[in-house]
Amino acid sequence: MKRFIRTSIFLVFLVIVTLNISCEKLTGDFVFNQAGDWSDVIVVPITADSDRDQIEYFKKAIMRDANIVQVSALSDIPTKSASKVSVVLMDEVESQGTEAYISFVDYDFFGTLHFNLIEGRFFLKDFSSDSSAFIINEELLARIQKNRSGKGYLFPMGQELSFDYESQKYQGRIIGVIEDYRIHVVDGKSTGSVPMIFKLSAKANRYLVVRTSDISAATILLENTWNEFAFSVPLEMFFLSDKVPN
C-alpha cells in the first residue's frame, strides 16, 4: 500500500511539472510549430538594386564551402512584413478575396527551410508550368475555406487563384500546401499563423537565406565572399529565428 501511495504521489508530481512546463511555453513570445529549428539559418539582405544581379553567382560561390548546407533567395521574409495581396478563386470570382502575404522564392526555398508538405508537391525545375503555379500554407487554405462558407469543402490541388501585385496580375494553380510553420503567442494566447502564398519569380532577389552546419565558419565565409564580390553596401546578417514571426 505504501509503495502504491508513493508511486501515485510521484505520478501526480510529474503531471504538475508537465503542466507547468506547458504553461511556461505558452506564455513566452513565440512557439515553434512543425517547421523545426531555424537557429542555423542566416539571412543576408540584398538592399541595393545594383547588387541583385549577382545573387546567383554569390549563391554558387558560397555553396562550394562544406559548411553551407543550402542557400535560397526570396523577395520577402514570410511574415507580416511581406507584401499583402487579395487572393481570389477563379472559379468563384464573385467571392470575397482572401487576404494573404506574398513571397517570391526560388526552387531551393522550401528545402532550405525544411518546410513540411501537407498536399501536392514543391516547385520542380522539370515542370515549366510551375513558373505560374502557387504554393500556399494551411492558414491561407483555412481562410479561403472560411470565405466559402456554405459551399462545401474546397480541394486545393489544381484550384486556380489570382491576385494583383505591383500593377501586374498573377494567375495560376495551387500545386502544394505546406504545414504552418510558426505560431505567434501574445499573453499566452495564439494569434494564429500568417496566411502565405509563394510563387517562383526573378523577384526573389531581396534576401538570401543560408542554412549552415557551422555558424562561425559561415559568418567568416559570408564576410569574405561579400568583400570579394565588392557589393555596393556593407554586409548585414541576422538569424531567421530572430526575425520570424514578425
Q: Mind listing the pLDDT tens digit for each residue in 95-150? A: 678 999 999 999 999 999 999 999 999 999 999 999 999 999 999 999 998 887 77
pLDDT at 30: 34
Q: What is the mean pLDDT of residues 179-203?
A: 72
Beta strands 83-89 and 238-239: pairing type?
A: unpaired
Side chain identity, residue 238: F
Tell the residue number behind the cell numbers 501515485, with chain if given. Answer: 8
Confidence category of residue 180, pLDDT binned at 50, 70, 90:
confident
- Judge whether residue 24 has pLDDT over 70: no
Q: Are 46 and 55 in contact (CB under 8 A)?
A: yes
> How much of the chain exceeds pLDDT 70, in percent?
76
What are the grid coordinates assigned to 135, written together?
Answer: 504554393
Q: What is the mean pLDDT of residues 221-243?
A: 91
Q: Is the pLDDT of residue 22 over 50?
A: no
Q: Residue 188, class by beta-carbon neighbours within 10 Å (0-12 exposed, 13-18 middle, 19+ buried)? A: exposed
